[in-house]
Amino acid sequence: MHLDIWHSEDEPRLGAVLAECWHLLADGAAEPQHDFHTTALATTHAGLGCTLRTVVLRKVDPEARELAFYTDLRSRKIGEIQQDPRIALLFNSVSDDTQIRVQAEAVIHHRDSLAEAAWRDLSPRRRRDYLVSGPRGLPWAWATSGLPAEFEGRDPNEAESEAGRLNFAVVVCRVRQIDWLFLTPYGHRRANFTWNDDGQLQTSWLVP
Ligand SMILES: Cc1cc2nc3c(=O)[nH]c(=O)nc-3n(C[C@H](O)[C@H](O)[C@H](O)COP(=O)(O)O)c2cc1C
């Protein structure tokens, strides 16, 4: 689906815009080449203020308003989310002329049924990321991969990859707000979607 607000009879309703947002996000999670496959994740750091990093969008559930990514339990972002679960995600698709900004609340899943199911679906190659030893972000004397030497040259097999399970976490982000911006040469369009604590949705067009 792609919004064609310039060649249709009517301007799109806000509901159609929101549906388009979820479609784009779902496509992003499913297609590695999609611009929404990666997103910038912002968290709050007590000393630094705000920190950012790229993560891969893994799962999208429009009904539950949830977006999920995978990470290492030892990474700095985990501590930041534990301190303050309010996070932001930034998506930009050049091909869809669309930016989506998300405010959400993050929940960390580790060794629960959700994390275990995600782990089972990961190939040994992808599990290798979680075999890095030692705390992530620790200073080192040389340009280390952090991996056991044997896995620098080959993927772990299924049994070897199991050591990463303890480090693997799924972060599920419950969306509170979406800010949609659609760029066109004829003037941009912008809309906001906000869910309150009771799950009620408020929508509005915004001046871009
Ligand atoms: C294209 C790309 C995709 C990435 N995907 C992830 C990811 O899905 N999960 C993750 O934890 N880190 C991912 N990273 C690494 C993070 O950007 C970051 O360097 C790392 O997680 C440490 O972040 P932190 O110290 O803020 O916790 C990715 C980096 C790039 C460049």
Tell me the residue ranges of DSSP E strands in the chain. Answer: 38-45, 49-56, 59-61, 66-72, 86-93, 98-109, 168-182, 189-195, 201-206
DSSP 157: -
CATH class entry, domain 14-206 = mainly beta
DSSP 48: T
Mutate to test the pocket of ligand 1, among 53, 76, 81 (most ligand atoms within 8 A of CB): 53
Q: Rounded to the nearest whole angstrom, what is the distance from the C-alpha of residue 193 to the centroid of ligand 1?
A: 27
Residue 75 CA: which ligand 1 atom is closest? 27
Kindly report the protein residue whose alpha carbon is nearest to atom 14 of ligand 1. Answer: 55
pLDDT along the chain (208 residues), means of 10: 54 85 98 98 95 98 98 96 98 96 98 98 96 86 90 93 96 98 93 96 95
Q: Rounded to the nearest whole angstrom, what is the distance from the C-alpha of residue 60 to the centroid of ligand 1?
A: 18
* CA distance linking residue 119 with residue 178, whole number of Å: 29
> Hey, what are 39's tokens?
């997103």
155 CB-side CA count, 13 A: 8
Kindly report the protein residue whose alpha carbon is nearest to atom 25 of ligand 1. Answer: 76
Amino acid (1-letter code) at residue 69: F
Of 38, 110, 46, 41, which Cα lies nearest the Cα of 80?
A: 46
pLDDT at residue number 12? 65
Q: Rounded to the nearest whole angstrom, what is the distance from the C-alpha of residue 38 to the centroid of ligand 1?
A: 10
Is residue 136 within 8 A of residue 77, CB to CB? The reply is: no
pLDDT at residue number 2? 58
Confidence (pTM): 0.94
pLDDT at residue number 9? 54
Q: Which residues line ligand 1 (CB under 6 A)?
A: 38, 51, 53-56, 69-72, 75-77, 136-137
Is residue 101 within 8 A of residue 122, CB to CB? The reply is: no
CB atoms within 10 A of CB 122: 18
Is residue 102 within 8 A of residue 67, CB to CB? The reply is: yes
Map out the domains of the chain as residue ranges.
Answer: 14-206
Amino acid (1-letter code) at residue 122: L
DSSP 126: H
User: What three-state secondary structure class fits 89?
Assistant: strand
pLDDT at residue number 10? 55
For residue 86, report the phi and psi dihedrals to the nearest 5 degrees: -75, 120
Cα distances (Å, whole numbers) of residue 130 to 11, 32, 55, 106? 47, 20, 15, 20
